[in-house]
Amino acid sequence: MSTGVSLMLTLAFLTLIKSVPIVYAALGGVISERAGVVNIGLEGMMTAGAFSAVVFTNLTGSPIVGLIAGIFFGAFLGFILGFAATFFKVDQIVAGVGINLVALGGAAYGLVLIFNQPGASPQVNQLAPEQLLPQITVGETALIVLGLLCAFGLNWFIYRTPWGLRVQACGENPRAVTDAGLDPLRLRLYSVIASGALAGLGGAFLSICEVNLYSDGMTAGRGFIALAAVIFGRWTPWGATGAAVFFGFFEALQYVLQGRISWLPSDAMQALPYLAALFAIAGLVGRVRAPAADGVPY
Amino acid sequence: MHGIRKVYPGVIAVDGVDLDLLPGEIHALVGENGAGKSTLANIAFGAVKPDGGTVEAAGTVGLVHQHFELVGRLRVWHNIMLGREPRKGTVVDVDRARSRVAELAERNGLAIDPDALVEELPIGVQQRVELLRELEREPSVLLLDEPTAALAPAEIATLFATVVQLAKRGTAILVVTHKLQEVIDYTTRVSVMRHGKIVARYETADTSVDEIARAMVGGELPQVAQREPTGAAPCFAARDVSAASDTTTVSGLSFEVHAGEIVGIAGVEGNGQTALADAIAGMIPYTGSIELDGDSTALRHRNNIGIVPQDRHHEGLVLNWSIVENAILGRQNLPGIRKGALTDWRAARADAAAIVERFDVRAASLDVAVKMLSGGNQQKLLVGRALIGDPRFVLAYQPTRGIDVGAAALVQSRLIEARNRGSAILLISFELDEILAIADRVLVMYRGKITGSFTGSEIDRGKIGRLMAGLS
């Protein structure tokens, strides 16, 4: 195989792998925002997922248990945000930022408390680390497939089921939902919990599937990129998935180009996915419309 | 409902009200702005908890809101079936939902496309959706809060035809309204509310518009100001104006408004009034020229004009802001209000106080958020803001929309007084009575064109009505 072809192949697989955590978090963003809650806390929920996955894998030796713990703790932070944003009518942005800070600080503190080492955890068992192809493991493949199933499932849920239609109504006009005899606060709470679970899963992928440890700041703003993907994808599951893969591509590109363009500092290269997000969203200003009641406490 | 009481901070909204609705009756609830009608309706519906008293209903209660509670980006069938979606396994059975809606519409004589997107429908049709949504639940009691505030005459007739049918089938109906002619035409009993209490109750057959109006205001109606002769200097001129808004278009309009003149645009809603108003206000691009005193600088860049926009919630007021803040909105750069780079809040308060006093805006204080005011008081604030500085030109779009007879008389008087002092006033209204009452000249608008012009003694209700309907 020529180096050109192998490089393209690497880029393709790396794009898939780098997209996975963003896809999960973006799907989480879609369900939460369609219900009317802006989930700025996605980043923190990913962090919680990544960290707790490592802790529980370390504890039990089973990365499957770690994965479930990641989902659970993401969902738990979702519950906190959901509860604050609905029944306590806390400003959603403030609550979300709070969750990000607590998760980041909590994980850093947990590293010292549990593993007695700051900065990064010891290595734990990786989720199905066997190579399926030279570029990709069995575990990564499984979570890519699961991610697609989640996108498919969320699309089906939002547009086909009665509950999905109610969630949509909730994000557009919660009073209409109240008038229909339903409880919009409860719908919002459940949606944000689901959102946290998806973000937690995305975080767990980062720590126990792509690598085998947690290090401080490893989510590196992917939760925020996911928020951009939600907007870029116009609040639809497949749109957000596509946007997440688009941003994932730039992250992969950045890895592939690393060290190949000598005149560009590596820090500038690392900024590539964020710049892509910035330009993508800037180009959309005024041309997309969020759910009408998105971010408005009820 | 017995002994209903509801207290909001600073106001007793409802004070010991008894109200019985009988199956098959259409009961009108009338009263001035802030008399407590909407609050009472919301208590009956269960959306607001009373501080005292009991509500009993045999069966379910439905409420058609003054400001519809619909989901604009979803389809008609979904809005109507929300919460009671028919299912096929775990998914929504769209075909059954559709046919259910079609059948419901058919039975109630309300034409509707189940698949239309609600936000793309005209206001009158949106209200049908809201009404059908309530009817789907087969309520034994149906409450309608200001149902005709946004409707054209033909739509009003359709609505009441349906309501009368419902009553015949045994539904108890309560209509909250300002429009006393509708009360006389369609209802069986009428209760009058003032300051949170029921002050009078009549069998509709035994009463009259005048009697109800006197009970509402607690005395004689205020007289509308007299028109005084004014000079006829041209002031505002539109020449060959064409423009398109989201829903309506106008093409090749030319007309003038003189200083000291009220020109009324008569027409059924949706015939280009929105496009005309938006073009004049500078909200949408237009071709042709719009001039004030021979100067075609965009009107929105001037500070000697006043505008009463059509949608007070979206274009007129910032609901979370106080009365003072809203009163100076758009006027913040006037010499009296701005001091250097800052706002002179003391002057702004005095200015707001003047509006509140002259336009009888009833509020606990100047600092309450405008969303706490009743719709009528919001409207009076909006009109007051447009008229307070004796502007050269005033664009008044439905200035008495959704307000009671007493407040409407006050607003109309203030418009006439501004005219007497030399303002040129363009009045756009869907209520012909209002135009005939205060306009010096009437232009009829039909499908985006001016189809007739009547001045002074030529003004003829019959001719205007035929032109409004598109007949020659």
Residue among A162, A169, A175 minimizing CB distance to B92:
A162
All residues of chain A having their beta carbon less than 8 Å from the beta carbon of residue B70 are: 173, 176
How many Cβ pairs closer than 8 A exist between chain A and B?
54
Q: Grade residue A2 by pLDDT with cuts at 50, 70 and 90.
A: confident
pLDDT (0 to 100) of residue A179: 85
Residue A1 has pLDDT above 60, yes or no: no
Residue among B74, B90, B91 minimizing CB distance to A169:
B74
Of B128, B136, B130, whose CA–CA distance to B158 is shortest?
B128
Q: Grade residue A78 by pLDDT with cuts at 50, 70 and 90.
A: very high
CA dist B216 and B208 (Å) reads: 12
Angle A119-A122-A128 from CA coordinates, rounded to 5°: 125
Distance from CA of B70 to the nearest CA of A (A): 6
Q: Grade residue B137 by pLDDT with cuts at 50, 70 and 90.
A: confident
More confident residue, B396 or B456: B396
B390 touches chain A (CB under 8 A): no
3-state secondary structure at position B384: helix
For domain A3-128+135-282, the CATH architecture is: Orthogonal Bundle (1.10)
Best residue in A175, A179, A296 for a mutation probing chain B (most B CBs within 10 Å): A179
Average pLDDT, chain B: 87
pLDDT (tens digit, 9 = 90+) per residue, B321-353?
A: 999 999 988 888 888 888 888 889 999 999 999
Q: Grade residue B241 by pLDDT with cuts at 50, 70 and 90.
A: very high
User: A176 to chain B: nearest residue by CA?
Assistant: B69
pLDDT (0 to 100) of residue A251: 92
pLDDT (tens digit, 9 = 90+) per residue, A53-77?
A: 999 999 999 999 999 999 999 999 9
Q: Grade residue B152 by pLDDT with cuts at 50, 70 and 90.
A: low
Of B443, B394, B444, whose CA–CA distance to B419 is shortest?
B394
Q: Grade residue B245 by pLDDT with cuts at 50, 70 and 90.
A: confident
| Of the listed ranges A252-256, B257-261, B304-308, B466-470, the one predicted with least confidence | B466-470
pLDDT (tens digit, 9 = 90+) per residue, A206-239?
A: 999 999 999 999 999 999 999 999 999 999 999 9
Are B82 and A166 a contacting pair at CB < 8 A?
yes
Residue among B69, B85, B90 minimizing CB distance to A173:
B69
List residues bridging with B307 in a β-sheet: B395
Token pair belonging to B268:
């059924």
Q: Grade residue A40 by pLDDT with cuts at 50, 70 and 90.
A: very high
Residue A231 — left, alpha, or beta (φ > 0 → left; ψ -120 to 50 → alpha)?
Answer: alpha
Other C-beta atoms closer than 10 Å to the C-beta of B161 total 14
Those residues with Cβ within 8 angstroms of residue A115's Cβ, 6 or more apart along the chain or in another chain: A58, A121, A122
B169 touches chain A (CB under 8 A): no
pLDDT (0 to 100) of residue B222: 65
B234-316+373-468: same fold as B2-217? yes
pLDDT (0 to 100) of residue A288: 81
pLDDT (tens digit, 9 = 90+) per residue, B83-97?
A: 889 999 889 999 999
Return the domain boundaries, chain A: 3-128+135-282
Kindly indicate whether the ipTM for this predicted assembly is greater than 0.90, answering yes or no: no
Residue B469 has pLDDT above 90, yes or no: no
Angle between the A222-232 and A272-282 helix axes, to the nearest 10 degrees?
Answer: 30
Those residues with Cβ within 8 angstroms of residue A167's Cβ, 6 or more apart along the chain or in another chain: A31, A34, A35, A158, A187, A191
Distance from CA of A171 to the nearest CA of B (A): 9
Residue among A161, A172, A181 minimizing CB distance to B91:
A161
pLDDT (0 to 100) of residue B312: 80
Residue B155 has pLDDT above 80, yes or no: no
Q: Grade residue B232 by pLDDT with cuts at 50, 70 and 90.
A: confident
More confident residue, A28 or A283: A28
pLDDT (tens digit, 9 = 90+) per residue, A126-158?
A: 999 999 988 899 999 999 999 999 999 999 999
Distance from CA of A72 to the nearest CA of B (A): 26
**Whole-number percent of chain A with pLDDT over 70:** 99
CA dist B445 and B443 (Å) reads: 6
pLDDT (tens digit, 9 = 90+) per residue, B40-58?
A: 888 888 888 888 888 888 8
B2-217 falls under which CATH superfamily?
A: P-loop containing nucleotide triphosphate hydrolases (3.40.50.300)
Mean pLDDT confidence for B242-270: 88
Average pLDDT, chain A: 93
**Whole-number percent of chain A with pLDDT over 90:** 75
pLDDT (tens digit, 9 = 90+) per residue, B385-419?
A: 999 888 999 999 999 877 777 788 889 999 999 99
Q: Output phi, psi for A127, to 5 deg.
A: -75, 115
Q: What is the DSSP string of chain A?
A: --HHHHHHHHHHHHHHHHHHHHHHHHHHHHHHHHTT---TTHHHHHHHHHHHHHHHHHHHS-HHHHHHHHHHHHHHHHHHHHHHHHTS---HHHHHHHHHHHHHHHHHHHIIIIIS-SSBPPP-PPSS--EEETTEEHHHHHHHHHHHHHHHHHHHHHHHSHHHHHHHHHHH-HHHHHHTT--HHHHHHHHHHHHHHHHHHHHHIIIIIISSS-BTTTTTTHHHHHHHHHHHTTT-HHHHHHHHHHHHHHHHHHHHHTTT-TTS-HHHHHTHHHHHHHHHHHTTTTT----TTTT---
pLDDT (tens digit, 9 = 90+) per residue, B423-440?
A: 999 999 988 888 988 999
pLDDT (0 to 100) of residue A74: 97
Return the domain boundaries, chain B: 2-217, 234-316+373-468
Distance from CA of A228 to the nearest CA of B (A): 22
Residue among B63, B71, B92 minimizing CB distance to A176:
B71
pLDDT (tens digit, 9 = 90+) per residue, B280-314?
A: 988 889 999 999 888 887 777 777 889 998 878 78
User: B87 to chain A: nearest residue by CA?
Assistant: A162
Residue among A168, A175, A181 minimizing CB distance to B83:
A181
Residue A294 has pLDDT above 80, yes or no: yes
CB A220 within 8 A of CB A138: no
B234-316+373-468 falls under which CATH superfamily?
A: P-loop containing nucleotide triphosphate hydrolases (3.40.50.300)
Are A165 and B78 a contacting pair at CB < 8 A?
yes
List residues bridging with B141 in a β-sheet: B61, B172
Are B74 and A161 a contacting pair at CB < 8 A?
no
Angle between the A63-86 and A184-204 helix axes, to the nearest 10 degrees?
Answer: 150
Best residue in B81, B82, B94, B137 for a mutation probing chain A (most A CBs within 10 Å): B82
pLDDT (0 to 100) of residue B221: 65
Distance from CA of B338 to the nearest CA of A (A): 32
Task: Print burial letters for B267-296: b (CB count within 10 Å at least 16), e (below 16).
Answer: bbbebbbbbbbbbbbebeebebebbbeeee
3-state secondary structure at position B138: coil
CA dist B148 and B163 (Å) reads: 12
